[in-house]
Amino acid sequence: MNCKRWIGVGLMAFSLALSFAGTGPAAADSSYPKTVNIAAGDRIAERILRVGVGRSVVINLGEEVRDVLVSDPEIADAVVRTSRRVFVLGNKAGQASLFLFGDGGVQLANFDLYVDQDTTELNALIRRAIPTANIRADAVNGNIVLSGTAKSTGDAQRATDLARRYAKPDEGGQSSVLNTVSVEGKDQVHLKVTVAEVERSIIKQLGVNLAGSIGIGNYTVGFNNQPGYTVNSNVVNRGSLGTDFLAGDTRIVAEIEALQRDGVIRTLAEPTLTAISGENASFLAGGEFPIPVSQDQREVTVEFKKFGVGLDFTPVVLNEGNISLRVKTEVSEITQEGAVNLGLITIPALKVRRAESTVELPSGGTLVMAGLLKETYKQDLNGVPGLMQVPVLGALFKSRDFLRKQTELVVFVTPYLAKPVNRSKLARPDKNFAPATDAATIFLNRLNRIYSVSGAPAPEGTYHGQVGYIYKY
C-alpha cells in the first residue's frame, strides 16, 4: 500500500513538473536542470526542482543568501560556495524541501525537491534505438515509468528492456519498470502449421505348430511346439496350412503359420489459428476418450483425455514484419500399441507427435520447426533348443518374427500478418454443396453433387466455331 501511495504521489509530482518543463523531446532533457537562475527581487514559492541521484544543480541568485535549510539531509544536501551560489546534491531517491533565506530572514525561494534517477540519458537512448516510437521514461520514487506510444508491441518491449538495464536494482536485486506505453495498432498473426508424416512397415512371420502323441506299448508320449512371436505379438488372423498324420497309437498334427504384411500410413494435419500480437491462442480438433481412474474406498471414476490436432501459440510482431512465435503443436491418435488390459477393460494408448519451440521469422516465411527420421528393425528366432539348429529339419522346430518400420515426420510453421477482408471474398466449406437424390444414390452411388467451387478456374473444353489463335495467360 505504501509503495502504491508513493508511486501515486510521484506521478502527481511528475505531472506538475511537466507544467514547468514543457512538453516534447526537449522537455525530457530539461526535466533535470543543471542550473537555476533567480534574479534579484524574484521570490519563488513551492517550485518543483528535480535532482538526479548522484547529480547536482547549481542555483544562481541575484542577491546574497544568508541561510539554507533542507528538510531531509539524507535525501539531498545544500552547499553554499559563495553568497550568491548554492549547490544542491542528490543523495538518494525521495522528497524534501529546500528553503533559501536572505538578509533579515527574508525567504528568497522555496523548492520542492524530488530526487530520483536522472533519465535524460535513458530517453536519449530510447530515441536512438527506437526512432519511430514516441516513448518517454521518467523516474518516480526509484521506479522507471514508461509512457507514450509505439508502433508495435516489439518496440514497447524493447523500451522496457532498455529501462530494466538502466534502472538501478532495489535491495532484492530487482529493478522496477512500469510500462504504460500504448501500441498504436495491434497486429494480428495468422499461423499455419503443417504436420506431415509417412510411416512404412513390413511384417513377416513364419512358424510351425507341431503337436501330437507317440504310443509305445502301454506308454504314450505327447508333445506340443507352439510358435512364439515376441516382435509382433499383437498380430492376429495369420494364414495357416495344416496336415494330420495318424498311424496306430501315433498321431502328429503339423500346422504352418505364415504372414507377410506391407503397410503405409500417411498423416497430414494443417491446423490454422489467428491471434493478436502478444496474446495467446489455442485450438483443438479431435475428441476425448474415457480412462478409468481408481479412487479411495475401491471406487472407480472416469476421466477424459483429449486427442486430435492441437495448436497453441503466442505471437509477438517485431519491426520490419518479423514475427516472434512461441508455438506448441500436437497430433495424437488412439492406438492399440501399448494398450493396457485390466480384466475386461482395455485402455487404449495414444500415439503422439508433439513439438514446442520459440522461433522468429518474417511474415509469409516457412520454417521447419521439427523433424524426425526413424527406422526400426527387429527379428527374433524362437524354437526348441538343439532341434532348431538341425539343418533343414530344424525349420519344423522354430519360428521367425520380423519387423521393419520407417517413419518420416516433419513440422512446418508459416505465420502471416493478418488483416480483415470483406465477407464477400470468403467462402464456406459447405458452399455449393447439394445432396444427391435418392435415385442418384441408389443407382449411381452418389452421395452429393457440387455445382461449382468458388474461385476455381473454368473447366477446359472444346472450342466450337471459327477461331484463330488462343492465348492463355
| Each residue's pLDDT tens digit, 409-431 | 888 889 998 877 788 777 777 77
In a domain, 150, yes or no: yes
pLDDT at 219 over 50: yes
Distance CA 415, CA 71 (A): 59
State mean pLDDT over 248-263. 74
Q: Which residues pair with 200 in a beta bridge?
A: 264, 406
Domain that holds residue 172: 119-183
Cα angle 54, 139, 35 (rounded to 5 degrees) comes to 50
Are 39 and 164 found together in one domain?
no
- Predicted confidence band at 256 (pLDDT cuts at 50, 70, 90)? confident
* Residue with the larger pLDDT of the pair 105 and 343: 105
Q: What is the pLDDT of residues 163-178, one digit of tens each?
A: 888 776 665 556 688 8
pTM over 0.85: no
Q: What is the pLDDT of residue 277?
A: 83
Are 282 and 414 found together in one domain?
yes
348 burial level (CB within 10 Å; 0-12, 13-18, 19+): middle
Are 141 and 281 found together in one domain?
no
State mean pLDDT over 130-156. 83
Distance CA 336, CA 308 (A): 16
Residue with cell 508333445: 223
Q: What is the pLDDT of residue 338?
A: 78
Are 284 and 345 found together in one domain?
yes
Q: Roughly how many angstroms between the first and final C-alpha of the chain, as a whole number?
A: 71
Q: Taking the mean position of all CA atoms in its chain, how far away is CA 353?
A: 16
Are 291 and 344 found together in one domain?
yes
Q: What is the pLDDT of residue 3?
A: 41
Last residue of a domain, one of 418, 438, 467: 418
* Residue with the larger pLDDT of the pair 102 and 387: 102
Q: What is the pLDDT of residue 27?
A: 35
In a domain, 210, yes or no: no
Percent of the chain with pLDDT strictly greater than 90: 1
Q: What is the pLDDT of residue 289?
A: 87
Distant-in-sequence, close-in-space partners of 464: CB < 8 Å, separation ≥ 6: none
Order of all β-strands in the sheet with 300-317:
281-294, 300-317, 322-342, 345-362
Q: What is the pLDDT of residue 34?
A: 85
Measured CA to CA in angstroms, residue 381 lies from 140, 208, 255, 399 at distances of 79, 12, 18, 6
Q: What is the pLDDT of residues 308-363, one digit of tens each?
A: 888 888 888 877 678 888 988 888 888 887 788 877 788 888 888 888 889 888 98
